[in-house]
Amino acid sequence: MKTYILYNKKSNNSAGAQAAEQLRALWSDRQPEFIDATSLPDYAAFFAGLAPEDEVCVCGGDGTLNYLINHVDCDKLSNTVYYYPAGSGNDFWTDIGKKPGDAPEKINQYLQNLPTVTVNGKTSKFINGVGYGIDGYCCEEGDRLREISDKPINYTSIAIKGLLFHYKPTNAEVTVDGKPFTFPKTWLAPTMKGRFYGGGMMAAPHQDRLDPKREVTCMVMNGAGKLRTLADFPTIFKGEHVKKKIAHVMKGKTVTVKFDRPVALQIDGETVRNVSEYTVQI
């Protein structure tokens, strides 16, 4: 049996390699082989070349996991896959009940039966959530700031400035398992496989990623003005926003969200620009 550490050196503002080094001590008895995932030309070929008893530890952020599930058929994967967080948000790690510094966790069960999202004609899997609205705007603005500066990105600050000055709410049409809803003045409309996204926002506090019904949660935050929304927005970090009048929660297997103008969207933290609608299926 061989053990491989597949690490993303670009994770967390290029601190991924440093995080991977921590595994040398944690897994010193395994004598793992370290592989830079950014230099790996074909994930599928790498996993196909493994012996059935070989094990892999993926070391990176939520985006690294998203890349894995979209380049390897994890439903048919026979190898044991572990995960060790090395991202900036690490929402998946938080959602499965882990803390910084915990040992790598086996994640095969979390890589199976994942939902897909179709955006601008492209369909892909996701592991945490699809953010649409001001959350997508925050990722878009974070990408812009990252291109011009190496300073850490403060998404909370971006969200506050967006709410007050830059982001304009939209009218939304949401269809869940064929049932239509209309939401004017919509600020957020994510659909979640897990509870967390955006570096600690508990958008769907009652969502279970291992739900035997295999449903996802769509949460819409709408109807209020800037100041009211700004006052209630921090409650999303503890999942208490769902108790507010501005939040609406729907569960199902197929979710379509349409906005009346194109805005940015994020999938497991990766930005997609100029999106007018998305569809999630599980």
- pLDDT tens figures, 157-207: 888 887 778 889 999 999 999 999 999 999 999 999 999 998 889 999 999
Average pLDDT, the chain: 91
Q: Cβ(140)–Cβ(273) under 8 Å?
A: yes
74: Cβ–Cβ under 8 A, 6 or more apart, which residues? 68, 81, 108, 111, 112, 114
What is d(CA 51, CA 74) in angstroms, rounded to the nearest whole number?
A: 16
Give the CA-trace dihedral at 76, 79, 85, 90, to 10 degrees. 10
Q: Name the β-bridge partners of 251.
A: 217
Is 124 exposed, middle or buried, given 0-12, 13-18 or 19+ CB atoms closer than 10 A? middle
More confident residue, 123 or 135: 123
Domain definitions of the chain by residue range: 3-111, 116-281
Q: Identify each DSSP E strand in 146-222 by its residue range.
A: 170-176, 179-188, 191-192, 196-197, 201-202, 216-222
* pTM of the predicted structure, to 2 decimals: 0.92
Can 3-111 and 116-281 be said to share one CATH topology?
Answer: no
* pLDDT of res. 14: 66
Average pLDDT over residues 62-68: 94
14: number of Cβ within 10 Å: 11
- 118's enclosing H/E stretch is strand 116-119
- pLDDT tens figures, 16-56: 778 888 888 888 888 889 999 888 889 999 999 999 999 99
* pLDDT of res. 69: 97
CATH fold of the domain at 116-281 = Tumour Suppressor Smad4 (2.60.200)
Q: Which CATH architecture has domain 3-111?
A: 3-Layer(aba) Sandwich (3.40)
